[in-house]
Amino acid sequence: MTTSILILIIVFVFLLFANVPISVCIGMATVLTLLYNMPADPAITQVSQKIATGLDSFALLAIPFFILSGQLMGRGGIARRLIDMAKAIVGVLPGGLAFVNIFACMLFGAISGSAVAATSAIGSFMIPEMNKAGYNKNFSAAVNATASTTGLLIPPSNILIVYSLASGSVSVAALFIAGYIPGILTGFSLMLVAAAIAMVHNYRGGTKVGFMEMLRRFVDSFLSLSLIVIVIGGIIAGFFTATEAAAIAVLYSFFLAVVVYREVKLKELPDILRQTVITNAVVMLLIGTSMALSWVMAFENIPQTISATLIALTDSKIIILLIINLILLAVGTFMDATPAVLIFTPIFLPVVMTLGIDPLHFGIMIILNLCIGICTPPVGAVLFVGCAVAKTKITDIIPWLLPFFIAMIVSLMLVTFIPALTMWLPNLLGF
């Protein structure tokens, strides 16, 4: 291992555990590594250029639009309507409110494209209701935190766009289509765990809803669910690109939240735009610094070194995939999904392509892996939001999370070793 690589690793890890923001950790590690190899002026110039060129991508225009769409959906009464519909469908089952929580998180995550938004929006409705029905509040928080991660796989999803940028070869549309089956599989596995826990603790179902009431709730939520059809259907049909679909999602969300549901007032729009700008600035700074770091790693031949080391270690495809998954699971516990995808995709993608694994398959695998990380301590953003909504402590929720983690890891192994779960739908639709 060269001195440059040691500097990169030591600076990054030190700053990260010093609680420095992740984008600053990445930027400082990149600059100091280059300073070892060249004078200050060209080093800083190179990093600045790589940050700028890293953000110069048409596909990235979709991210601020989807963030704004998610903000409008989050405040526009969408969550309540989806919960009402979920109650009508699965609320009557034993442990029904847990199923409602999972189902609603999957739907809202798919509409908003944000796991944190799903945790906050669905959790603020469902966790108090589950508490009133006698559910343990730590169980309710665990259900909410893990289920919200499915929104990263079920499109539209910003992290899928980020992977498309990092891979350089996989289209956003293909990733959107590929995420459906793994996302639904993960949600179903969480429902199985919730059912088992509900049986042990005798959590009963809710009141059965009549057909006409079920129909009314479906009609009430139909316009919200139509966003998924408009965005994905338009991309599949070739009417517009993923970036254009994001702009359409904003217009549709605005129409629903302001005109149809009237739950967002015009005077609230400046605050919504401000929150969108803040969130987008954080995401873009992460992307820019991560792209600069990826360039430095390529400059130091780090991906090639790691690829050669793994292949020299074993020629077993199964073992190499297990090693990559273990590394990513460990990384996910202290790094957010966006920088992790940008940093580790250039490292591991050449390895898996050598093994004959499709970059599309690997993209879903890495994102599902990092879904586990965002609800895992010590840095899991979704976990902190879930605990805040449930008014509980991380130490109290951990024992309830473990069975759900096992279910997510089982789903990860299935997606890793059964490529058809990812590839079948895109291949069927010609992507």
Mean pLDDT of 321-348: 85
**Range picked from 144-158, 211-225, 412-426 for highest mean pLDDT:** 412-426
Cα R_g (the chain), whole angstroms: 22
Where does the pLDDT of residue 374 fall: very low under 50, low under 70, confident under 90, or very high at 90 and above?
confident
Q: In the structure encoding, which two tokens stand for residue 194, read together? A: 């919730």
Mean pLDDT of 136-152: 88
pLDDT in the model for residue 421: 94
pLDDT in the model for residue 378: 67
Could you tell me where the DSSP H helices lie in 300-336?
A: 302-313, 317-332
Where does the pLDDT of residue 413 fall: very low under 50, low under 70, confident under 90, or very high at 90 and above?
very high
* Cβ-based neighbours of 268, under 8 Å, separated by 6 or more: 75
**Range picked from 65-79, 103-117, 222-236, 316-330 for highest mean pLDDT:** 316-330
pLDDT in the model for residue 188: 92
Mean pLDDT of 327-335: 83
Beta carbons of 102 and 96 less than 8 angstroms apart: no
Separation CA 185–CA 365 (nearest Å): 13
pLDDT in the model for residue 123: 82
Of the listed ranges 243-247, 304-308, 398-402, the one predicted with least confidence: 304-308
Res 54 pLDDT > 60:
yes
Q: What would the pLDDT profile of 254-296 be if each residue is shown by its tens digit? A: 888 888 888 888 888 899 899 888 888 888 888 888 888 878 8
* Cβ-based neighbours of 188, under 8 Å, separated by 6 or more: none
Of the listed ranges 183-192, 333-342, 415-424, the one predicted with least confidence: 333-342
Res 416 pLDDT > 60:
yes
Res 301 pLDDT > 80:
no
Beta carbons of 356 and 321 less than 8 angstroms apart: no
Mean pLDDT of 320-337: 86
Beta carbons of 211 and 393 less than 8 angstroms apart: no
Res 64 pLDDT > 80:
yes
Give the 3-state secondary structure of residue 265: coil
Res 297 pLDDT > 90:
no
**Which has the higher per-residue pLDDT, 352 or 156?**
352
pLDDT in the model for residue 190: 93
pLDDT in the model for residue 322: 92
Residue 323, CA distances (Å) to 213, 344, 354 in order: 50, 13, 15
- Chain-centroid distance of CA 134 in Å reads 30
Where does the pLDDT of residue 172 fall: very low under 50, low under 70, confident under 90, or very high at 90 and above?
confident
Mean pLDDT of 157-170: 85
Beta carbons of 346 and 303 less than 8 angstroms apart: yes
Mean pLDDT of 65-77: 80
Res 193 pLDDT > 90:
yes
- Chain-centroid distance of CA 56 in Å reads 22
Where does the pLDDT of residue 74 fall: very low under 50, low under 70, confident under 90, or very high at 90 and above?
confident
- Residue extents of the structural domains in the chain: 58-264+300-428
Q: What is the mean pLDDT of the chain?
A: 84
Beta carbons of 307 and 332 less than 8 angstroms apart: no
